[in-house]
Structure 1
Amino acid sequence: MSPTKRIAFIGNSLPRRCGIATFTTDLQQAIASSDVDTSIVAMNDAGESYDYPFSVHCQISDQRLEDYARAADFLNEGRFDVVSLQHEFGIFGGEAGGHIMALLSRLTMPVVTTLHTVLSEPTALQRNVMERIVDASARVVVMAEKARDLLRAVYRLPADKIEVIAHGIPEFAFVEPDEAKERLGFAEHSVILTFGLLSPNKGIEVMIDAMPSILRRRPDAIYVVLGATHPNLVREHGEAYRESLMARVRELGVEDHVVFLNQFVDQARLLSFISMCDVYVTPYLNEAQMTSGTLAYSFGLGKAVVSTPYWHARELLADGRGILVPFGDVVAIGNEIAGLLTDAPRRQAMRLRAYASSRSMTWERTAKRYLAAFETARRGRVLSVIADHGEPRLLPAIVAPPEMQTGHLLCMCDDTGLFQHAVHSVPDRAHGYCVDDNARALLLASVLSGAGEAHLPDALTARFASFVQHAWNPDRRRFRNFMSFSRQWLEEAGSEDSHGRTLWALGVCARDDASVSRRRWAAALFGEALPVIESFTSPRAWAFALLGLDAHCTTAAAVSLRTALADRLLGLISKVETPDWVWFEDGLSYDNARLPQALITTGLSMQVPAYVEAGLRSLRWLTYLQTNPAGLFRPVGSESFGDKRSAPKAFDQQPLEATAAISACLAAWRADGDPQWRIEAARAFAWFLGDNDLSSSLVDLDTGACRDGLHRDRPNENRGGESVVSYLISLAEIRQLARVSGDRPKLAPLRVLHA
């Protein structure tokens, strides 16, 4: 294997003002100096833009999903050997930064991820995103042993996947502070320094409160706070935090001994400021600070450091290499700093220990360790993608699904249409027909037409279309739903949901039907039946109509209605959602996954990220609820219908829910490229085949019949129209998915069958 020659870095980059930007730029420059071709993919925040140097070849606006996909294309087409991802919460868009998966899941080269923060108690969303990122990474780099321990204990990451590489530092001589003090205007002072972006978690107020006690023992002391206020803090609150600190300084009467330098300095000037300090202090308030570039730089220049015991400091300053004081302890921090300022031999000994210990951390040596990690990742990638007979594979393929069998579907039809119910596998004439099931059957015919499967007999498709046409009541501008076996309509207008579902079938038929004439018929009837949907109040009817509009939306009025319906769903979730209930209504019902699916598909087609994000957020929550303790798919049971804001009951489980979940997960996969959605779709399909609470297959593989669901103690042996159509639609989707090479929509496009 040839040496690594092309490396791309993803993260913030200078001149953006933050520690990650500094780290990314420093690491890129250190690697580039090793005769390696490098490139940076830079993250932009909140619509900001920056005057980047030539090393930045691609930019991502953190909230624009399409930018992540475009960046993946850039990296794949550039044939980079390795991608180095800098991960920190808050850099990437989406929930818990999940948008980054839309990039990682599309890459064809190995990823080495540097985790700048490892949380010991992540939220469910943070854990989910972190686990997906590390799963997509060939190697994971952290900068402290504590981070390695957390990755193993909390995230169950194998030890051999983790590298501990210290934060890099500039190569700088050990110098006394006098010359730099003179140059910067601080001669004749004992200088205490803190630098970095100013924000409330830095504990500056604790250090200010300690100044009076320090001045009593060292009257020449001066505390320099070097750094601009964090840009996010400025955007939200202006300079209120800095002004509060300055007010505290005046209140304590130490304004002649505390200097605020509101500037973001380049590396040369920063090193001058560090050089002139006698004591460097990091009074941070949060223990869970896994890395600190400011600490690493000051330690690397051989400074006496006083710090609170956050995780990085606890490791770096152990064994007398610095001094640790309790969080928020004004007395302790004052005593230790005053003690160092009044004891030059002790201070000098500490400086020498720090400088000697830090020589392995220089950027030159850090770059060599990263290059070794990159090579390890590439070797592992080569081994992992060689499958049988040496054929390359990117990710495991879906297990081969069953063959498509339509025998039972044909048995469930007569010359009128599809029967609603069956007694075991025998059609039950007593309950007649409904437009719901015949619309689903028309949808299935269109799905098979576009999925590379054998088509249903044209006469059968025409029968479903004829039933839908006959169900249309032009006087009421509504579809009837229920029809008796004697072909008598039992109502003048069906439910809003049945009308919306029929619109959905017509929209897909207008796009995909094999017959040109039938496509024109479907388009015309769709246009007639669409306007009334605006008066409906059912969220599911809105969702079904949106799925139809995703397939067929050709007029300005249709576009306007599409936006209105999507806005209604968005309005519902914004009104109902709480941290524990990420949904559109106070309860769960049937066809649940169609609501997020409708928002995702609409958002993708109309380029509205808010729709996509709400759809993904709610589907992720629903997917969590629809997973049993064994990790199997468990659809919301019908016993839950009517319950308010409570965990769903397990039974009765119906095929309709599995079919909705499969389609929605595939829509989500198309939206953000996260391969986990593909896995969730396969898991939901496995429910049909016996991976369920009862370990009972619902499907007769020889006929394509599907049982109507799972009771608490047994499968429902009846095999009605809704169940067989649901199974066959899901089978068509999974079979098409299995034919895709790899699992990346960009590499092998899959049109999600909105079924």
Structure 2
Amino acid sequence: MSPARKTRFPSLEHLLQLSDDCGVIQHATYDVPNRETGYCVDDVARAFIVAARLYLEDGRREARGLAARMLSFLHNAQLPDGRFHNFMGYDRRWLDQAGGEDAFGRALWALGWGLSVPSERGWHRLCTQMLESALPHVPELYHLRPCAYAALGLAQAARSELAAGHAQILEMLGLLTERLLAARARYDSQWAWFETTLTYANARLPQALLSAGTVLAHARATAVGLETLAFLETLTIERGVFIPVGNEGWCTRGGHRALYAQQPIEAGAMVEAELAAHAVSGLDHHRRTAGVAFDWFFGHNSGSAIMVQGGGCRDGLERGGPNHNMGAESTLCYLMAAIAMAAHPVAEQRGVRR
């Protein structure tokens, strides 16, 4: 466990600095928001998850206000046909006709969490309406990560009392689950993965299967989720240190495995996937491995670099050290992981830190 970690739920200091009454500024120059980069659904959806979950788990009033602003952005982003814009300029004009699959999947992920805060009936009604409008587009998803994001959202929605037994939610979750399982079935046991190349947000794929497997009582989804997560561990954990696949070439079967630049999105996703595996299996190995991945943020990484400061996270670990900009995605991936660690049922036993 890294000595640099602090206890309990994380600070929202930097996220609030990146946010305004519209959304979350995408990028920062050092820790100063770079307004010319505008906003995107990709980040606002994750900011809503962070704020809603922190309000749910820790009762913070500033988190509730932030969540309401993020949900307002998502509502404005939804097109009449149920799809979503993604990019908005700082002048609050949409820059696209419609966003891509990642934005759609992350928006559904956020809506699932919007159904999970019992006290917020207004959120429930709006998220239900938005989700029902978006569901007909779920079968159009082709790429695996958007499928995983959407599956995480639908699984979260299905856990809500308001959506329990919702036939279309369960149907679409089943469809996405089978799509992920079909991708895994294309490869043998020597390459227990979904694609020839590991790229970004890798651990979200097994995490989605683990979440869906629990909701649908789908034993094969659970088994494949555990199998693929174990395979990912073999590629990214060396002598007790999490070394995620870098974005300077990724990791291709039988070929190159990039060590840099390492991204916070990988560490955050690994933390949450391992906690999901611990919840399913009860194996302490997964709880410990979540801690190994979380410690990446606190200097237990290949560069011995502290990535977190004031509730924000540096944008990546490069060959020469950390990228000192602290943009939205990096910060949000850290915050999602920190909240998941603090909220996990055995968090107190481990002394979860931020």
TM-score for the superposition, normalised by structure 2: 0.91
Tell whether 2:340 aligns with 1:730: no
The equivalent position to 1:458 in structure 2, one of 49, 53, 64, is 64
After TM superposition, the structure 1 = structure 2 runs for residues 245-260 of structure 1, keeping only pairs within 5 Å, are none
Partner-residue secondary structure (3-state), 2:274? helix
Aligned to 2:308: 699
Alpha-carbon distance, 1:452 to partner: 2.8
Give the whole-Å Cα distance in 2 for the aligned partners of 1:647 and 1:627: 17
Cα deviation digits, residues 651-686 of structure 1 (max 9, x gap)? 111111111101100111111111000000001110
Aligned to 1:600: 210
Give the whole-Å Cα distance in 2 for the aligned partners of 1:400 and 1:406: 14
Tell whether 2:277 aligns with 1:675: no
Alpha-carbon distance, 1:514 to partner: 4.4
After TM superposition, the structure 1 = structure 2 runs for residues 64-463 of structure 1, keeping only pairs within 5 Å, are 401=7, 404-452=10-58, 454-463=60-69
Give the whole-Å Cα distance in 2 for the aligned partners of 1:588 and 1:455: 39
The equivalent position to 2:78 in structure 1, one of 472, 495, 512, is 472
Identity among equivalent positions (%) equals 37
Alpha-carbon distance, 1:562 to partner: 1.4
Aligned residues: 340
Aligned to 1:617: 227
Alpha-carbon distance, 1:483 to partner: 0.8
Aligned to 2:171: 560
Contact 2:23 2:69 survives alignment (8 Å): yes
Contact 2:251 2:258 survives alignment (8 Å): no
The equivalent position to 1:538 in structure 2, one of 143, 148, 151, is 143
Partner-residue secondary structure (3-state), 1:568? helix
Alpha-carbon distance, 1:458 to partner: 3.1
Alpha-carbon distance, 1:645 to partner: 4.9
In the alignment, residue 334 of structure 2 is paired with which amino acid? Y
Q: RMSD value over aligned CA atoms?
A: 1.9
Give the whole-Å Cα distance in 2 for the aligned partners of 1:631 and 1:648: 18
Which is richer in strand? 1
Q: Structure 2: which 5+ runs fail to align?
A: none
Contact 1:588 1:648 survives alignment (8 Å): no
Alpha-carbon distance, 1:647 to partner: 5.2
Aligned to 2:237: 627
Contact 2:52 2:64 survives alignment (8 Å): no
Change (3 A) 1:540 1:403: closer
Mean Cα displacement is larger for which, 416-425 or 560-569? 560-569
Change (3 A) 1:645 1:513: farther
Give the whole-Å Cα distance in 2 for the aligned partners of 1:537 and 1:403: 36
After TM superposition, the structure 1 = structure 2 runs for residues 580-595 of structure 1, keeping only pairs within 5 Å, are 580-595=190-205
Aligned to 1:662: 271
Partner-residue secondary structure (3-state), 2:237? coil
Alpha-carbon distance, 1:447 to partner: 1.5
Change (3 A) 1:470 1:563: same
Alpha-carbon distance, 1:406 to partner: 1.3
In the alignment, residue 549 of structure 1 is paired with which amino acid? L
Change (3 A) 1:513 1:421: farther
Alpha-carbon distance, 1:638 to partner: 1.0
Q: Structure 1: which 5+ runs fail to align?
A: 1-398, 744-755
Contact 1:625 1:647 survives alignment (8 Å): no
Cα deviation digits, residues 390-429 of structure 1 (max 9, x gap)? xxxxxxxxx8646521111111011211000000000001
Aligned to 1:493: 98
Give the whole-Å Cα distance in 2 for the aligned partners of 1:512 and 1:648: 41
Partner-residue secondary structure (3-state), 2:34? strand
Tell whether 2:116 aligns with 1:511: yes
TM-score for the superposition, normalised by structure 1: 0.44
In the alignment, residue 558 of structure 1 is paired with which amino acid? I
Alpha-carbon distance, 1:568 to partner: 1.1
Partner-residue secondary structure (3-state), 1:710? strand
Cα deviation digits, residues 86-132 of structure 1 (max 9, x gap)? xxxxxxxxxxxxxxxxxxxxxxxxxxxxxxxxxxxxxxxxxxxxxxx
Task: Determine which structure has more spread, i.e. the larger CA radius of gyration.
Answer: 1
Give the whole-Å Cα distance in 2 for the aligned partners of 1:741 and 1:686: 16
Aligned to 2:328: 721
Give the whole-Å Cα distance in 2 for the aligned partners of 1:666 and 1:640: 28
Contact 1:504 1:548 survives alignment (8 Å): yes
Change (3 A) 1:559 1:631: same
Partner-residue secondary structure (3-state), 1:466? helix
Larger relative contact order (CA 8 Å, sep ≥ 6)? 2
Change (3 A) 1:615 1:457: closer
Give the whole-Å Cα distance in 2 for the aligned partners of 1:709 and 1:604: 33
Alpha-carbon distance, 1:631 to partner: 2.3
Give the whole-Å Cα distance in 1 for the aligned partners of 2:95 and 2:118: 29
Give the whole-Å Cα distance in 2 for the aligned partners of 1:541 and 1:692: 28
